[in-house]
Amino acid sequence: MIFKYAILLILLFAAEVAYFSIAEKRGIVDKPNDRSSHTNVTLRGGGIIFLIGIWLYSIASGFQYPWFVAGLTLAAGFSFIDDIHSLPDSTRLIAQLLAAILMLYQIGLPHWWIAPLALIVIAGAANVINFMDGINGITGAYSIAVLIPLAIANQQYCFVDQGMIVTAALASAVFCLFNLRPKGKARCFAGDVGSIGIAFIMLFFIGRLMVSTLDPTWLILLIVYGADGCLTIVHRIMLHENLGTAHRKHAYQIMANELQLEHVKIALLYAGVQLCISIGFIFLCPNSSICHWIYLLCVMTLLTVAYAAFMKKYYHMHEKYLASLNH
């Protein structure tokens, strides 16, 4: 088993390096803009390794989850095209919704009426994860922090083949080798193909887990991203901003830009907090519905208070940055 995963790790590393060569020749790069937290031109689309990893697993396993793989390929494929040539928002949304439908078919919902709500959750969560991909290392580190608890939970509930989770974790580790680096030193960025790709992978695993246990509180495995992403949207609504415009108001962005904290430290902070919350949920919280909901609500409250306190203390620095742009 270890030998098999070692071979897989080598193949993933070789695939990533091969993609770099293609990206350099084709000029697939990420140029900094007003929303960016980086200043150097960097290769874009390194997150394609997540899709490659799932394809390698699928080939080796005889395409055990064909509908999900088809949906993931659709969502990540259109995202990759968007990384190269910008696509209309409507085109990307349609592709993601079709991909979500294929994912839900593979998950196997217990009741048909859950599907509309599930589609909204998948589309919203995938785009929040995409928005959170703004500094070096945060996507790779956070993905590993989500996949480790999923692998632990899978030993008890057997909601998906363990090899698929391990493959996704190995792909994340390979990506971290090139992206979890100080500001200005990343070899590549995930691109939408990476952030949307890993979002669909994690949501598929969590969806299978929720259906297996009939427990929606497993969404806590994404609670840190969910708190920053959703609370930032609420904050922007309170500021009467157009939600369709680019911004740098996420807590992690203010840490990186206004507070000048190192990208790697911020990425590890988000991953570490999420991992601690998830491990506590699995090992410390009693395995009952009421306890799970209490744990979830307590964590949501603590993260909301922490977010509000952070913004109260440091958001004025971002306002100074915005004022400087107008002068």
Q: By three-state DSSP, how is residue 254 classified? A: helix
Q: What is the largest CA-CA distance in the chain?
A: 61
Q: What was the pLDDT predicted at 142?
A: 98
Decide if 33 contacts 324 (C-beta within 8 A).
no
CA distance 232 to 132: 11
Decide if 149 contacts 282 (C-beta within 8 A).
yes
CA distance 205 to 106: 11
Q: At what angle do helices 263-283 and 289-325 cross, to 10 degrees?
A: 170
Residue at 281: amino acid letter: F
Cα 216–chain centre separation: 19
HSE, CB side, 13 Å, CA atoms: give it for residue 141. Answer: 24
DSSP letter string over 65-134?
A: SHHHHHHHHHHHHHHHHHHHSPPPHHHHHHHHHHHHHHHHHHHT-SSGGGHHHHHHHHHHHHHHHHHT--
What does each C-alpha distance from 183 to 180, 187, 195, 257, 261 come to in angstroms?
9, 11, 19, 11, 10
Six-digit token pair at 257?
């830009």
Please identify which residue in the block is written with the tokens 């409507």.
90
Q: What was the pLDDT predicted at 326?
A: 73
Q: What was the pLDDT predicted at 286?
A: 96
pTM (2 d.p.): 0.94
Decide if 300 contacts 227 (C-beta within 8 A).
yes
**Looking at the DSSP assignment, which residues form a beta bridge with residue 42?**
30
CA distance 162 to 150: 9
What H or E segment, with its residue span, contains residue 204?
A: helix 191-213
Using alpha carbons only, give the angle 219, 228, 234 rounded to the nearest 5 degrees: 105
Six-digit token pair at 130?
């995409």
Residues 6+ apart with CB under 8 A from 297: none
The tens place of each residue's pLDDT in the chain, 327 residues long, gives 788 899 999 999 999 999 999 999 988 987 765 554 545 678 999 999 999 999 999 999 999 999 999 999 999 999 999 999 889 989 999 999 999 999 999 999 988 889 999 999 999 999 999 999 999 999 999 999 999 999 999 999 999 999 999 999 999 999 999 999 998 899 999 999 999 999 999 999 999 999 999 999 999 999 999 999 999 999 999 999 988 888 899 999 999 999 999 999 999 999 999 999 999 999 999 999 999 999 999 999 999 999 999 999 999 999 888 888 776
Which of 16, 44, 37, 84 shows the shortest CA–CA distance to 184? 37
Q: What was the pLDDT predicted at 39?
A: 54
Residues 6+ apart with CB under 8 A from 201: 50, 54, 72, 168
CA distance 189 to 25: 16
